[in-house]
Amino acid sequence: MTSARIVLWLNLTLRPSCSLCRAQFIKGQLQTPANPAAMENGTMPCGEKRPLEAQETTVTEGAAKIVFPSANEVFYNPVQEFNRDLTCAVITEFARIQLEAKGIQIKVPGEKDVQKVVVDLSEQEEDKAELKEGANVAPGDQPRTAAVGEICEEGLRVLEGLAASGLRSIRFAREVPGLRSVIANDASSRAVDLIRHNVQLNKVAHLVQPSQADARMLMYQHQRVSERFEVIDLDPYGSPAPFLDAAVQASPAAGLLCVTCTDMAVLAGNSGETCYSKYGAMALKSRACHEMALRIVLHSLDLRANCYQRFVVPLLSISADFYVRVFVRVFTGQAKVKASASKQALVFQCVGCGAFHLQHLGKASGPSGGRVKFSAACGPPVAPECEHCGQRHQLGGPLWAEPIHDLDFVGRVLEAVSANPGRFHTSERIRGVLSVVTEELPDVPLYYTLDQLSSTIHCSTPSLLQLRSALLHAGFRVSLSHACKNAVKTDAPASALWDIMRCWEKGCPVKRERLSETSPAFRILSVEPRLQANFTIRDDANPSSRQRGLKRFQANPEANWGPRPRARPGGKAGGEAMGDRRRLLQNKRKEPAEDLVQRAARLKTFPCKRFKEGTCQRGNQCCYSHRPPTPEATAEATPTNCLETLNQNPPGPGATTGPGVD
């Protein structure tokens, strides 16, 4: 029998056994408890039926209490509590605005019963909010109220597309008044079972409805005007790009869309091509990368909404910890969509000094109150080489170039949180961040940083108050940014900033002989400043949030701080395995770096090859040894087997073994 026939016979004989073994293996895999971490973002396939873990961990956050498998450490991230607290505060004020128009007042626990001033953010007046009195109530009539935990028939319908344990949805039901229903959706059946358990535990089954479906399909099924959600919350692992198209269609006119992005490496410029594939914009590595990330996400949202004759209006955009969070309202209007091109801009950034210029994609012109004409913008705003340092420019964007906050709405949220500080565990941080947001210049995109300006010209760093005072003395506006603690957001051109830094450098001169003639520092410092800076400290240079000592910028709250690793079905859940992995990957370089003396002594132990060849011209200044090799060193360098060979096979007569050998 030939070898080919033998292989064919074995294959036909053993195939049933292999199939049986494979089926038993797959069956055993399905019966094995899966990674509970996968429920965080619905990454596990639908249709799975698995019991909950025997050991559970109970977590209390806000007014909610949830349980989840204790073997999973990526399931609950306490750092995201600020995100959830801020979302509850924003939705509460949004519900107050929506229900006041219907004559309904909301009751927030711990809030004094006072008459609120309402901001009208209707579609016709979204550009400029107007103050008006509360809903007119006839004398003697009792105004309708909406309390926490009660169903409001005219209230908000909320969708949490990626609910995981249902913590966020349960907190909405127990802390936000004026809700009609909350749908806690997840693609994993095991996650939905856990949501049902937590809903029963918190006694909010009348408000929270667990749902098992793909978040995109669920939102596509609610495109009818009567079935849309007034509030949609998306908090996925990584990028929300796959869900944005469905979200802008499932949101009604003037609806609220809350989106979180944790793929900061992509948005911060580490992978520009990946950022373009997900958000339709090229990200740049910049000191202002966090604000650039916010503007890229807003651009992506507006771009997807424009496909359906809709547009977005940002209410609040936050860069915190390891993620960005945006709150936008979605409106419908064909005429307003035409202005979207003039709200986007490209960024020209110098690779040498970091100076940037914005180029809008469109231009809107026309008399005020008359017909507006839209056309393409003219550019570019810069030459091929930077006028300050002579380096080339990088092109990034498009990104959102309009204000990223609605200061009236932010003021309402800040006032509510300040008046009721016991409502949230992170109220102190919310107050600090929102206070810095209200101080930001709304019409100035991006920013510089103190260390960026000083490191470019290799000089000492001025204090924040000194630089701010110099800009104010020169007649420019300046503010901080909530995205970076040493940010300098100003309407001053880059030429004025470098003039101020040139004046600062004169007080502590930089040694020009150490600078390369082609370096940005040499070219910037070789120009005399045309603006004489005044660094005298001004009273208005110190922002109010800094004077009051608010908690503006969060320090790392815990060890191993950052986003949890992605949950993978069938993988290790965490706990000890995750701790072992962290110990394996961290502290790679434990040996201290050697100093110059130790390095010089170590190099002197190696012979100089050029000295052996007679071509080394350094003499005693050479870092390698010029000493001839000693006999001991030669003997040590000779392999042992070679010596044994010489001893066992002595040279024959007439052979020369070396000088002095007979």
Tens digits of per-residue pLDDT, 297-306? Answer: 999 999 999 9
Phi and psi at residue 404, to the nearest 5°: -100, 0
The stretch 518-525 carries a mean pLDDT of 92
Phi and psi at residue 223, to the nearest 5°: -85, -15
Q: Band of the pLDDT at 278, cuts 50, 70, 90? A: very high
The stretch 367-382 carries a mean pLDDT of 82
Higher pLDDT, 639 or 596: 596
- Helix 189-202 and helix 167-175: axis angle, to 10°? 30
| Pair of tokens at residue 630 | 């000693």
Q: Judge contact between 434 and 440, C-beta under 8 A.
A: no
| Collapsed DSSP state (helix, strand, coil) of residue 242 | helix
How confident is the model at residue 354, as a pLDDT? 92
CA atoms within 13 A on the CB side of 499: 14
The stretch 388-395 carries a mean pLDDT of 92
User: Which value, to the nearest 10 degrees, does the dihedral of the CA atoms of residues 352, 355, 358, 359 take?
Assistant: -50
Higher pLDDT, 111 or 505: 505
Residue 402 has pLDDT above 90, yes or no: yes
Q: Residues 437, 443, 446, 448: is their CA dihedral positive or negative?
A: negative
How confident is the model at residue 449, as a pLDDT? 94
Residue 3 has pLDDT above 80, yes or no: no
The stretch 351-360 carries a mean pLDDT of 93
Phi and psi at residue 634, to the nearest 5°: -65, -40
How confident is the model at residue 128, as a pLDDT? 43
156-165, 194-203, 379-388, 583-592 — which is least confidently predicted?
583-592
> What share of the chain has pLDDT > 70, as a percent?
75
Residue 618 has pLDDT above 90, yes or no: no
The stretch 575-595 carries a mean pLDDT of 61
- DSSP conformation letters of 389-429: T--BEEEEEEEE-S-S--HHHHHHHHHHHHH-GGG-TTHHH
The angle formed by the CA atoms of residues 152, 157 and 158, to the nearest 5 degrees, is 125
How confident is the model at residue 59, as a pLDDT? 87
How confident is the model at residue 315, as a pLDDT? 96
Instruction: For 289-323, give one letter per residue: b (16+ CB within 10 A) or e.
Output: bbbbbbbbbbbbbbbbbbeeebbbbbbbbbbbbeb
CA distances from 585 to 370, 557, 582 (A): 63, 21, 5
Residue range 288-299, pLDDT digits in tens: 999 999 999 999
The stretch 354-372 carries a mean pLDDT of 85
Q: How far apart are CA 172 and CA 158, in angstroms?
A: 9
At residue 293, what is the residue type? A
- Select from 416, 403, 381 the least CA-distant residue to 479: 403
Residue 614 has pLDDT above 90, yes or no: no
**Residues paired with 625 in a beta bridge:** 607
Tokens 């208005």 sit at which residue? 540
The stretch 470-477 carries a mean pLDDT of 94
Q: Over the chain, what is the mean pLDDT? A: 81
Residue range 228-274, pLDDT digits in tens: 999 999 999 889 999 999 999 999 999 999 999 999 999 999 989 99
Burial of 128 (0-12, 13-18, 19+ CB in 10 A): exposed
How confident is the model at residue 592, as a pLDDT? 60
- Own/partner contacts of 221-225, CB < 8 Å, gap of 24 or more, are 222/159, 222/250, 223/249, 223/250, 225/252
The stretch 563-587 carries a mean pLDDT of 57
Residue 407 has pLDDT above 90, yes or no: yes
Residue range 306-334, pLDDT digits in tens: 999 999 999 999 999 889 999 999 999 98
